[in-house]
Amino acid sequence: MMSRDKTTPSVTSPVARAPERLSLKVALWLLDSPRLGTRPTVKHFAGRLLKQPARQGVVVAQSRLGRLLCHDCGGARDRRIGHELLRQAARAGDPQAQDAYAQLSHTP
């Protein structure tokens, strides 16, 4: 029986990434839903679903979570985090993040 070499990197299977993609898709669906997307509890839940993909560098998650934090949250800390997420997504080329970041940068 062969033992696995400790220097061999582990490969993440597509099945292991499926919950992350599902949470991103559910969050985007909730936010884009005309009836659900306007409710504060739904926005809060969608924000929680977007948090992990945004941390992992998924540009669309950074963009949506950044806009959500900047526009729908009351705390200064949330707005700072949202501004940083928008900056990262804008640098990665997301056009909606670029527009939102430009508007925030020009707002006093």
What is the domain extent for residue 98? 17-106
Is residue 3 in a domain?
no
Q: How far apart are CA 39 and CA 18, in angstroms?
A: 27
DSSP readout, 16-58? HHHHHHHHHHHHHHHHH-TTTTT-HHHHHHHHHHHHHHHHTT-
- Averaged over successive runs of 10 residues, the pLDDT of the chain (108 residues) comes to 47 55 92 92 94 94 95 87 96 95 81
Write down the pLDDT at residue 99: 95
Global confidence as pTM: 0.78
The confidence score (pLDDT) of residue 14 equals 52
Residue 4 forms part of a structural domain: no
Q: Rounded distance, CA 32 to CA 19, Å? A: 20
- Domain assignment present for residue 31? The answer is yes
* Count: domains in the chain: 1
- Model pLDDT, residue 107: 67
For residue 76, being part of any structural domain is answered with: yes
Give domain status of residue 32, yes or no: yes
pLDDT of residue 21: 82
